Amino acid sequence: EAQVTQNPRYLITVTGKKLTVTCSQNMNHEYMSWYRQDPGLGLRQIYYSMNVEVTDKGDVPEGYKVSRKEKRNFPLILESPSPNQTSLYFCASSINRVLSSPLHFGNGTRLTVT
């Protein structure tokens, strides 16, 4: 089944403790991206990747890192999480950067930073 898989689904951590949220897609998509979703603000793009070893900042990249060493994986790294990074995170992929095909989203990771 074609899908985008995020792990974990729920994560509670403390300020400053490094964490990684994994994202994997099995559709051989070139384009992958990360979003955070907050009440009243909608989805905001954190980082995106057009292909292996090609990443770029989205609208809200501060406090986040990403890497794209393999086509299927696009992990999101929080080196020193802070409470304002408490949010619902989504990973998505698409065939290419032009987005003539839809974004396929994972089911989200709900992160709480205390």
Partner 1 sequence: KNQVEQSPQSLIILEGKNCTLQCNYTVSPFSNLRWYKQDTGRGPVSLTIMTFSENTKSNGRYTATLDADTKQSSLHITASQLSDSASYICVVSGNSLSGGSYIPTFGRGTSLIVHP
Contacts of 13 (CB under 8 A, 6+ apart): 19, 81, 111, 112, 113, 114
Contact between 92 and partner 1 by CB under 8 A: the answer reads yes
Site string for partner 1, 54-73 (x = CB under 8 A): ----x---------------
Q: Are 23 and 5 in contact, with CB atoms under 8 Å apart?
A: yes
Contact between 107 and partner 1 by CB under 8 A: the answer reads yes
Residues that bind partner 1 (CB under 8 A): 4, 35, 40-45, 48, 58, 90, 92, 97-100, 102-103, 105-108
